[in-house]
Amino acid sequence: MPNNKETFTITAALPYANGPIHIGHLAGVYIPADIFSRFKRLTNNDVVFICGSDEHGVAISLASKKASISPNELIDKYHKMIKKSFDEFGILFDNYSRTSNKVHHETSLKFFKNLEEKNLFSLIKSEQFFDEDENQFLADRYISGTCPICSFDEAYGDQCEKCGSTLSPDELKNPKSTISNSTPILKETKHYYIKLDEFEDFIRNWITVENKDKWKINVVGQVKSWLDSGLKPRAVTRDLDWGIPVKIDGEDGKVLYVWFEAPIGYISSTIEWAKENDKDWEQYWKNPNTNLIHFIGKDNIVFHCIIFPIMLKMFGDFILPKNVPANEFLNLEGNKISTSRNWAVWLHEYLIDFPNMQDVLRYVLISTCPETKDNDFTWKDFQTRNNSELVGIYGNFTNRVLSLINKYYYGKIPNPNSKNNIDELVLNEVKSLKSKIELCLNEFKFREAVKSLMNIARVGNKHLAETEPWKIKESDPERVEQILQTSYIIITYLSVLSEPFIPFTSNKLMKMIGLNDFSWDMLDNVSENIDYSFKIDKIEMLFRKIEDFEIDLQINKLNGNPNL
C-alpha cells in the first residue's frame, strides 16, 4: 500500500426509525456518502463508514401509541426495513447501529455527565403544557388550537400550516392535546440548557473564516444566517418516557433530547464497530490527522455545523468535521417529497417493479443529485437516462467490443506487438477522465464525476466509430487487434472506475472480462496488469431498455394515490 494513506471517518445522517427510506434520502445523503467511502477505500485509505437508526424521540413514542404497539416493536420493524433497503442498494456501511443499543446509551450519558461536570449547562425552570389524561408534558407539535393570526382552528404549537406563521404554544387559542384531545394545563418543569451562546465566536471563526472557501457555499451561508440571529441556550433534556433517561436534581421522568444524543450515535456506532473488529475507536475520532466527514441533507446543517461541533469542542480532545457537504432537497415530479401524502418513491417498492436494477436508480439519482440547489426526479428522465446513457452508451460500447473480441478471437484479448498513435491519444483522454473523476470526488462534485465516467464510454464509442474495425478485418488484421486491445483497456478503466457509482454493474463487468483482483492503482500501469491468458466467455447484458408502459405505470401510481 502507498504511504500516503489517510484515515477517514465518514458518517451519513441517522435515519429516523419511524418509516421506510425513499429516493430523496438516497440522493441527498446515502448515495453520495457511499460513493465517497467506496472511492476512499479503493484508493487505499483507512475508512470507517458509520450510520445507524435514530430510535428515540417523541415522534416514535407517539406513533407507537397510535399503532397500539410498544416503541420497541415500532423501531424493530423500521430498523430492519431500513437496513434491508441499504443492503439491497449496496450502501456499504462498516457499521449500521441503532441508538437503542446499550453502547449508545452509555456513550451519550458519558457525554452528558462530562458537560454537566464542566458546568456547561444552565438549569432553567419554565411552565410547559401538560396533558393530565396522558400524564405527560407535550412537545409543541402535539398541541393544536386556533391560530391567532388567521383563525385556522387546527394550527400546531410550533406553526400554523395554513398561514405559515411560526407560533409558540401559548399563543394558540383553545389549546388541545393532540394525543388525548383534552385541554392541557401549564405545569412547572426543570431542564438543562446547553450554553451554545458561549461558543458563538468559536463557530463563527471556524466556519465563516477558516473554512469559508473549503466548504460548500450553501452550507457556509446557512451557518452565517444562524449565527447572525444569535445562538441561544438550547434545552438538552425533556419530559418523556421514551429515550435515554437522566435525572435532574434527583428527579426522574426526563430523557436526553433526541437532537443531543443522535449525533453521538456516530461515535457509539464507531465504538461498537471497533470492538467487533479489534480497532481503536479513538483513532477515528481523536487523531487530528483523521478526516471526519458528515453527509447530511440541508435540514441538518445547524446540528452538524454548529451544535454537534460545539458539543465535541466542549467535551474536548475530539476532532471537528473536516467538511460537511450537505445537499439540498430532491423533489419528485415537480412536488416536494412527502411521507404523509405518500408522494415518494419508496426503495422497497422500486425493487419490486424494477428487480435487480439498483444501479439504474443509483446512476439517475447521482446524475440529478441536488448538490447546489433543489433538483427534480421525474420518471421520464429516469427512462431517458437509462435508455440513452446506460443502455445506449455504456452498455452499447461494452457489448460491441466484447462481441467483436468473441467473434474475431474466440474471447482471447488481443495483444499485438505494435502500438498506434491514435490509440495512445485516446487512452490519454481516458486517463485524464480518470484524474477528473478523482478530483471531482475529492471536492464532493458527484454529478460531474459520474458525467466523466460516462464520458469514458463516449470516448470508446467514438473511437470505434472512427476506426471501424469491422471494415478492415481482412485488409489490416493487425490494426484491428490494436483497436480492440485499446477498446478492452477502455472497458478496464470503465469497469474499475464504475465501482463507487454503480457497484453491481462494475462487479458483473469485471468478472465478465477477467478482472477479479484488479485494483484502482493497477490502472496506472494498465497494459502490464492485464491478464492476456483470460478468455471472455458468455457476454451478459449490463442494462435493459425501459419501456413507456413501465414509466406510465409509475406515474399513474403516484397520481392515483388516495392521499393526494
Contact footprint for Zn ion (CB under 5 A): 147, 149-150, 152, 160, 162-163
Output 163 or 439, the one with its CB closest to Zn ion: 163
Q: Would you list the DSSP string of 348-373?
A: HHHHHHSTT-HHHHHHHHHHT--SSS
| Residue 147: CB minimum distance to Zn ion, A | 3
Element (H, E) at 481: helix 477-497
**Identity of the amino acid at 470:** W
Output 143 or 231, the one with its CB closest to Zn ion: 143
Instruction: Dig out the grid coordinates for 195 from the structure.
Output: 450554553
Per DSSP, 343 falls in state: B
The b/e string for 65-93 (b: 16+ C-beta within 10 A; e otherwise) is: eeeeeebeebbbebbebbbebbeebbbbb
Is 176 in contact with 145 (CB distance < 8 Å)?
yes
Q: How far apart are CA 516 and CA 536, in angstroms?
A: 13
| Residue 151: CB minimum distance to Zn ion, A | 7
Output 123 or 150, the one with its CB closest to Zn ion: 150
Q: How far apart are CA 184 and CA 531, in angstroms?
A: 75
| Residue 155: CB minimum distance to Zn ion, A | 5
Is 257 in contact with 238 (CB distance < 8 Å)?
yes
Sign of CA dihedral 519, 521, 523, 525: negative
| Residue 7: CB minimum distance to Zn ion, A | 51
| Residue 152: CB minimum distance to Zn ion, A | 5
> CA dist 87 to 92, 96, 262, 316, 358, Å?
7, 10, 22, 35, 11
| Residue 198: CB minimum distance to Zn ion, A | 36
How many contiguous H segments (helices) and E segments (strands) does the chain have?
22, 17
The candidate with the shortest Cα–Cα distance to 50, out of 305, 277, 294, 278, is 294
| Residue 280: CB minimum distance to Zn ion, A | 54
The candidate with the shortest Cα–Cα distance to 149, out of 170, 164, 136, 138, is 164
| Residue 157: CB minimum distance to Zn ion, A | 13
Output 152 or 520, the one with its CB closest to Zn ion: 152
Q: Can you tell me which residue has the cell 494498465?
A: 526
Q: How far apart are CA 240 and CA 351, in angstroms?
A: 38
Query: Can you point out the beta strands (E) in 257-311?
Result: 291-295
Task: For the chain, give the longest Cα–Cα distance.
Answer: 94
Q: Is 237 helix (H, G, I), strand (E, B) or coil?
A: strand
Phi, psi dihedral angles at 257 (to 5 degrees): -60, 140
| Residue 175: CB minimum distance to Zn ion, A | 14
Output 154 or 478, the one with its CB closest to Zn ion: 154
Output 162 or 348, the one with its CB closest to Zn ion: 162
| Residue 435: CB minimum distance to Zn ion, A | 55
Q: Can you tell me which residue has the cell 392521499?
A: 563
Q: Is 313 helix (H, G, I), strand (E, B) or coil?
A: helix
| Residue 171: CB minimum distance to Zn ion, A | 10
| Residue 178: CB minimum distance to Zn ion, A | 16
**Identity of the amino acid at 288:** P
Query: Can you point out the beta strands (E) in 315-430?
Result: 330-332, 335-336, 375-377
Output 174 or 525, the one with its CB closest to Zn ion: 174
Q: How far apart are CA 426 and CA 421, in angstroms?
A: 9
Output 152 or 226, the one with its CB closest to Zn ion: 152
Q: Is 472 helix (H, G, I), strand (E, B) or coil?
A: coil
| Residue 141: CB minimum distance to Zn ion, A | 16
216 CB contacts (<8 Å, ≥6 apart)? Answer: 325, 326, 371, 372, 444
Output 27 or 147, the one with its CB closest to Zn ion: 147
Output 27 or 160, the one with its CB closest to Zn ion: 160
Output 159 or 331, the one with its CB closest to Zn ion: 159
Output 168 or 403, the one with its CB closest to Zn ion: 168
**Identity of the amino acid at 61:** S
Output 148 or 221, the one with its CB closest to Zn ion: 148
| Residue 170: CB minimum distance to Zn ion, A | 15
Output 167 or 357, the one with its CB closest to Zn ion: 167
Q: Can you tell me which residue has the cell 465478465?
A: 512
